[in-house]
Chain A
Amino acid sequence: MSLLQVEGLTKRFSGLTAVDDINITVADKEFLGIVGPNGAGKTTLFSLISGQLPPTHGRIVFDGVDITGWPADKVASAGLVRTFQLMRPFESMTALENVAVASHHRFRSRRDARRHALAVIERVQLDRYVNAPAGSLPTAGLKRLELARALALEPKLLLLDEVLAGLVPADRAPMIELLGDLHADGLTVLFIEHIMAAVLALSERLLVMHEGAQLALGNPHEMTQDRAVVEAYLGEDYA
């Protein structure tokens, strides 16, 4: 059964078409990688799906419900949650509180919300920063905090925007492992990433975007053989 259907999704910013007629169907428990050069419209696609930006055209159906035009908080509460390329933590609050704000939507009582937030923090191995102000976390910690906040909403569909960017190579492997575990536990994921090794390690299908449009969609390993894709994404030198 498909969890997400995107039909003819288009976004124009005065003249520039940032997202151009995207059509994808994402199955339950699927891991879909999204790649494309800088400015291809990947982040904008996430903003449209998660309700931060209204689309110019097109329709978004999530879990059988048309959510086109819903405000971001309502989309998030429905179980479709994104993370940001540039993290947006609540800096003055502790890591635990950051996550508890999200948990509190699933648990009415404050104690249960905190307990749940603690469990999520352990899941992403942020334990040692539980009571540190979010503003004091290192980049790797902020990435995990962003992930923890999203997970605390117990999403059905998680949109990850460059969670590996800014991590030193030594920090990437454990993050990739964590994402693999989350997927294995049944989470459906859309995964924007520039680091091809990670994309190939995790993705079951791959969407390639170029200048807003859907250049290719299919098996990632076959696609790396495709000349047009390689040209668009890696530059003509690689072709």
Chain B
Amino acid sequence: MQERTWAASEAPDSDAAVGGIEKYRLPLAVAAAVPVVLVLIYTVGDKDTGLVTQSVVTGLLLGGVYALVSIGLTLIFGVLGVINFAHGAMLSLSMFLVFWLTSTLGLPVYLATVVAVPLMLGFGFVVQGGLLNRLTVSGNHEGSLLVTLGLSLLITNVLLMIFGGRPLSVPGSLEGAWRVFGAIASYERLIAFGGALLVALALTLVLNKTSFGMCIRAVSANSQGAALVGVNVGRVYALTFGIGSACVAVAGGLLAPFLSLTPTVGEEFTILAFVIVVLGGLGSVVGAMVGGIVIGLVQTVGALYLPGTGSLILVFAVFVIVLLFRPQGIFGVTR
């Protein structure tokens, strides 16, 4: 006897359909804008074609690096609502961990990265589970800020104590480069770019295709509602921070070969990583990927016209313009 219906007057799904188109308008606009701008630069940009191609390739690869650094940050930010001020320091920590594994144990750098991943996962799990959970669960975000800031200082100074302030480099990396359309792409940066794609893909699969990923999304959408259906929110927080830290470990390992390591090397990425996370949409892995590439391209191609720090002005201009039209970021959802 389930004949009687409810809400008969409401037309189902019409809202959802509208939302569906709305949702993709800006991502499509951004995707269209990038090639249009590039074509313009090639045709009427008044620059040497080879130079432009090299900037595009460099920009794409730099974007991959940025994306790699931002993915862990967006996950933690999106799910826990916590701004992890220790993100840069954790990136440095990962790089020095990889440095130590290569220099003392003699592991090849990419194998060292594989070893660093579970170590950083455990580190993140303990930091969130032990230090931050009580603050996050009670919604004390100022407290979390202070704790992560303190953690950042601690990590940086411990690294300084152990390794000193002199720039170090990871031994035995992969030399050489690939030539595309007359431009040069170093193998190390290509691998970093591939790594970013792989991490983004793996994370997207985990979030959308596993029960645990579903719990993460549920906690991110509404932690109280999640607790209500039996999800152990504290444990999800700790594991999410762990997974975010594992992403940072991948970033550290893949970036270490072409950077000179100082205890503050990670901090140099922090501001741009935050810009990318907000631009792409808080908590959106795809957003971090796209945001990273857009920022990388703007920075290097922009440098053709505004050399030096001028290209950073362009980066922030793009940031402000996008947020003006879409405050939740390119792939963000309104909350």
Most chain A beta carbons < 10 A, residue from B6, B13, B211, B214: B6
Query: Taking the nearest CB of chain B, how far is it from the CB of A85, in angstroms?
Result: 13
Identify A90's interface contact among B12, B13, B19, B222, CB under 8 A. Answer: B222
Chain B residues lying within 8 Å of A138, measured Cβ to Cβ, are 7, 10
Which of A73, A82, A136, A149 interacts with B15 by CB under 8 Å?
Answer: A136
Which residues from A are CB-within-8-Å of B179? none
- Residue of A125, A133, A153, A173 near B229 (CB, 8 A) is A153
A152 touches B2 (CB 8 A): no
**Contacts A93-B221, A128-B12, A132-B12 hold; do A71 and B227 have CB atoms under 8 A apart?**
yes
B219-262 CB contact bits vs A (8 Å, 1 = yes)? 00110111111111100000000000000000000000000000
Partner of B228, one of A88, A136, A171: A88
Of A20-28, A57-65, A101-109, the one contacting chain B is: A101-109
A89 within 8 A of B: yes
- A91 contacts B by Cβ under 8 Å: yes
Contact (Cβ within 8 A) B2 A88: no
A97 within 8 A of B: yes
Report yes or no: A149 in contact with B229, Cβ–Cβ below 8 A: yes
Binary contact readout A62-106 vs B (1 if CB under 8 angstroms, 0 otherwise): 000000000111101100011010001111110001101110110
- Taking the nearest CB of chain B, how far is it from the CB of A22, in angstroms? 21
Give every chain B residue within 8 A of A170 (Cβ-Cβ). Answer: 6, 8
Most A C-beta atoms less than 10 A away, residue of B13, B214, B224: B214
Q: Does A229 contact B (CB under 8 A)?
A: no
Q: Provided the pairs A73-B232, A101-B226, A101-B229 are in contact, do residues A136 and B217 lie with their beta carbons within 8 angstroms?
A: no
Q: Identify whether the interface residues of A are mostly helix, strand, loop, or mixed.
A: helix
Are A102 and B10 interface neighbours, CB within 8 A? no
Q: Would A102 and B230 be within 8 Å (CB), given that A90-B217, A174-B6 are in contact? A: yes
* Residue A221 interfacial (CB < 8 Å): no
Pairwise interchain contact A171-B211, C-beta atoms closer than 8 A: no
User: Which residues of B lie under 8 Å from residue A77 when comparing CB positions?
Assistant: 230
The count of residues in chain B whose C-beta lies closer than 8 Å to any C-beta of chain A is 31
Cβ of A110 and Cβ of B12 under 8 Å apart?
no
The answer to whether residues A92 and B225 also contact, given A101-B214, A101-B231 and a CB cut-off of 8 A, is no
B222–A100 contact, CB under 8 A?
no
For the complex, give the distance between the alpha carbons of A173 and B226 in Å.
29
B7 contacts A76, C-beta separation under 8 Å: no
When C-beta atoms are compared, the residue in chain A nearest to B211 turns out to be A104
Question: B180 in the interface, Cβ–Cβ < 8 Å?
Answer: no
Instruction: Known A89-B222, A129-B12, A177-B4; judge A104-B228 contact (CB<8 A).
Output: no
- For the complex, is A48 an interface residue (Cβ under 8 Å from B)? no
B4 and A76 contact, CB distance less than 8 A: no
Cβ of B215 under 8 Å from chain A: yes
Query: Which residues of chain B come closer than 8 Å to A52, judged between CB atoms?
Result: 224, 227
Across the interface, A140 reaches (CB within 8 A) one of B10, B16, B215, B225, namely B10
Is there a chain B Cβ closer than 8 Å to A141's Cβ?
yes
Residues of B within 8 A of A150 (CB): 228-229
Kindly list chain B residues whose C-beta atoms are within 8 Å of the C-beta of A84: 225, 228
Q: In the complex, are the beta carbons of A73 and B230 less than 8 A apart? A: yes
Min C-beta distance of A195 to chain B, whole Å: 16
Partner of A110, one of B211, B229, B231, B333: B211
A208 to chain B, nearest CB (A): 26
Q: Does B210 contact A (CB under 8 A)?
A: yes
A18 contacts B by Cβ under 8 Å: no
Complex Cα spacing A102 to B230, Å: 7
Docked Cα-Cα span, A105 to B230, in Å, equals 7
Pairwise interchain contact A76-B227, C-beta atoms closer than 8 A: yes
Does A187 have its Cβ within 8 Å of any Cβ on chain B? no
**Of A91, A132, A153, A177, the contact of B221 (CB 8 Å cutoff):** A91
Encoded as 1 (CB less than 8 Å from any A CB) or 0, chain B from 12 to 29 comes to 110110010000000000
In Å, the complex CA distance between A97 and B219 comes to 13
15 sample A-B contacts, Cβ–Cβ < 8 Å, listed by A number: A52-B224, A72-B227, A84-B225, A89-B221, A89-B222, A90-B221, A91-B333, A101-B229, A125-B2, A141-B10, A152-B229, A153-B229, A153-B230, A170-B8, A171-B6
**B: which residues have CB within 8 A of A?**
2, 4-8, 10, 12-13, 15-16, 19, 210-211, 214-215, 217-218, 221-222, 224-233, 333
What 10 pairs between A and B have smallest CB-CB spacing? A88-B225, A90-B221, A102-B229, A140-B7, A76-B230, A136-B15, A77-B230, A136-B16, A72-B227, A101-B218
Q: What would 7 more interface pairs be, CB under 8 Å, given A140-B10, A170-B6?
A: A73-B230, A90-B221, A105-B230, A132-B12, A141-B10, A174-B6, A175-B6
